[in-house]
Chain A
Amino acid sequence: MRIESKILLWLGIFFGLMCAVYWTWSLENAGGVMMFFAMGLCFLPGLYYFWWSRRMGYRPEDDPNATQETGAGYIDAFPGSSIFPFTLGSGAFFVVLSMVFGSWLLIPGLGLVIWAALGGIAEGRRGGDK
């Protein structure tokens, strides 16, 4: 986990340097602002992973001499199938179409989105559609 965080932090440092050079040299704000927030978007997960790497320690996938047995066991519950991604996606589809063809399309759109949100949360709580 340590290298993962370092990659993001180095990217963030590079964007920070580039932002400083660009902003002082160009006197143009749009690009400077965007590069500044690109730096932030690297530091945010980078620092989180760094903190997390100290908490979780060395994992089998970070150990070059790990055997497959060290990783054996339960990983997580993966939903085998779920209708809610489709429901949420078609809800978003109708919401976007409502931007073009009229706000009445928000009725099916938001209906599907709310159904998917409630159903998806319930499904996640009981660990999938059993």
Chain B
Amino acid sequence: MTTTAHNPAVESHGHEHGHAEHHGPRGILNWLTSTDHKVIGLSYTITSVLMLVIGGALAEVIRGQLANPNGHLVTMAQYNELFTMHGSIMIYLFAGPFAFGALANIIVPIQIGAPDMAFPRLNALSYWLYLSGAITMLLGFFVTGGAANFGWVGYAPLSDAVYAPGAGADLWIGGLLLTGFSAIFTGVNICATVFYLRAPGLTLFRMPIFTWNLLVVSILILLAFPILTAGLVMLYADRHLGTHIYSVAGGGVPVLWQHIFWFWGHPEVYILALPFFGMVTEIIPVFSRKPVFGYKGMVFATLTIAALSLGVWAHHMFTTGVVLLPFFSIMSLLIAVPTGIKLFNWIGSMWRGQIWFSTAMLFAIGFVVTFLIGGLTGIYLASPPLDFFTHDTYFVVAHFHSVVMALVLGGMAGLYYWGPKITGYMLNERIGKVQFWLAFIGTQVFTIPQYIVGLNGMPRRMAVYPNDPEWQTLNTWSSVGAIMIGISTLLFVVNIVASWKKHPAGDNPWDGHTLEWFTTSPPPHHNFFRLPQIRSERPTWDHNHPEAKALAHGKEDH
């Protein structure tokens, strides 16, 4: 059935038109046919968290193998499949879809006062393509020859028909094609939604930072993902149609794959990171009882990161010897500036605030600390002499695991913050805090030994390593950290079960700032019965606290 959306100007208006009354199909047919952004977003959330659990289970096997120098948990061939599929699942099937498909899908339309995404059916198609892509990639485990085994970056010539002959590699390519189109459609949708469906008075510079970041991420998706898709089509043509785009034998250039892959791959890092930056930027001011510090600085930092991110791809390729080292080194170092502005503003938002250390806030602070570690080691890697020394060692592995574990912490912060809005019920804070400390300490126990063992020269992607007592101790500690992270993720599942429909959240449990806290929990079909007047970037807070007048940007809060 079709529902027409009306902008709910005043309370009675919304009720009269009954746009909250929605009589669609029920049960599994509702899940299959729904075009409601909240249902699709929830499907995205559940699927991507499931992918986190699958990818995490592979990681535990990898760390089990590496806990001893001559581990016999898996064979070397299986180990290659494990680290390839661990990376692929985590990047393509968990981090990306979770970042711009899951919470973004649910929260962005509500934050701008829109009834739904601009293209609801395209939104549903995005989810089905994502799910198909995930299934396609995971099918690799069940075919002859096993799953893809050339690393999540699929470098030529390792990924060609000679070195990776099985169906697993083709399923990997096919899965990426499907998830790539899913991402592109989501990008189109979010752009159109933010440009055309904002509530009256919600000017671009009053949008919540989370929505801003998703807008910028959508632009980046549209710039980056088509290149990956094109590269994959060419890879498939090389494997099956007899072209020689990436093979030296026929006059092709293997490094071209690296250029294409990383021209997508480095913006992808920010496509993954910026939504989590946005989540944390929503959470820190709310739990510090202050407006966000440096709103415009945050927006321009986001835009600058996006602009620079297209000029840094070859810092992954310094050791190929055929890239322009100074250009990529300068651009990569420049990205530290807007990222530093963001860190400064997060601390500024907490400064002299009345901080409420809820689980969401703890996870947000854990994100800031862990991301700082990952970001600072990234600055080392932007310097070619240091990169020549550490390239393909565990130092690089530790660097990006600090970054992506920061994103996992940020994602958990988002789930604890918006979970009550989505389900209508609070999550258990006590279990949440135990989960946070296990995840936070586990992350550091997991990565810091890897930094050291990497500086000592341990290469990545090795199933066995020399029987050196120091390396073994460090690797064992890293495995202990991985187990702690695994237990903390299981605690999240325990928490969902334990707090299932126990404590109703109410509309606004955190005294939040933005429009999603103005509507009911969970929001009705088409989201709003009424909207407040919007005079600043935190309309709900203005409405609930008329004694404090709306502040212009840059004015001190006295």
Contact = CB atoms under 8 A, between A and B. Distances in A.
Contact of B5 (A42, A65, A76): A76
A81 B136 contact: no
B199 A80 contact: no
Judged by DSSP, the binding face of A is helix
B131 A89 contact: yes
B259 interface: yes
Contacts of B132: 89-90, 92-93, 96
Contact of B307 (A11, A30, A84, A120): A11
A79 to B, nearest CB: 5
Give me the 9 closest cross-chain CB pairs, A-B, nearest first: A89-B128, A128-B2, A72-B9, A85-B124, A60-B200, A71-B200, A93-B132, A66-B200, A61-B198
Q: How large is the interface on B (under 10, 10 to 19, 20 to 34, 35 or more residues)?
A: 35 or more
Nearest to B4: A77
B465 interface: no
A68 B200 contact: yes
Interface of B: 1-10, 13, 22, 24-25, 30, 32-36, 115-116, 120-125, 127-129, 131-132, 135-136, 167, 170-171, 173-175, 177-178, 181, 195, 197-206, 219, 222-223, 227, 236, 240, 256, 259-260, 263, 303, 306-307, 310-311, 313-314, 322-324, 327, 331, 525-526, 530-535
B251 to A, nearest CB: 15
Given A8-B219, A60-B201, A99 B174 contact: yes
A97 B124 contact: no
Interface of A: 1, 3-4, 7-8, 11, 14-15, 18, 21-22, 25-26, 28, 30-31, 34-35, 38, 41-42, 49, 60-86, 88-90, 92-93, 96-97, 99-101, 120, 127-130
B1 A75 contact: no
A88 B327 contact: no
Given A21-B327, A90-B128, A96-B132, A72 B7 contact: yes
Contact of B25 (A75, A76, A81): A81
A85 B327 contact: no
Contacts of B25: 81
Contacts of A85: 35, 121-125, 127-128
A40 to B, nearest CB: 10
Contacts of A42: 219, 223
A100 B171 contact: yes
Nearest to A87: B128
Given A25-B327, A35-B311, A68-B9, A93 B219 contact: no
Given A11-B307, A34-B227, A75-B115, A81 B33 contact: yes
Contacts of B240: 99
Residue picked from A1, A49, A89, most chain B C-beta under 10 Å: A89
A117 to B, nearest CB: 12
Contacts of B32: 83, 86
Nearest to B132: A93
Contacts of B531: 68
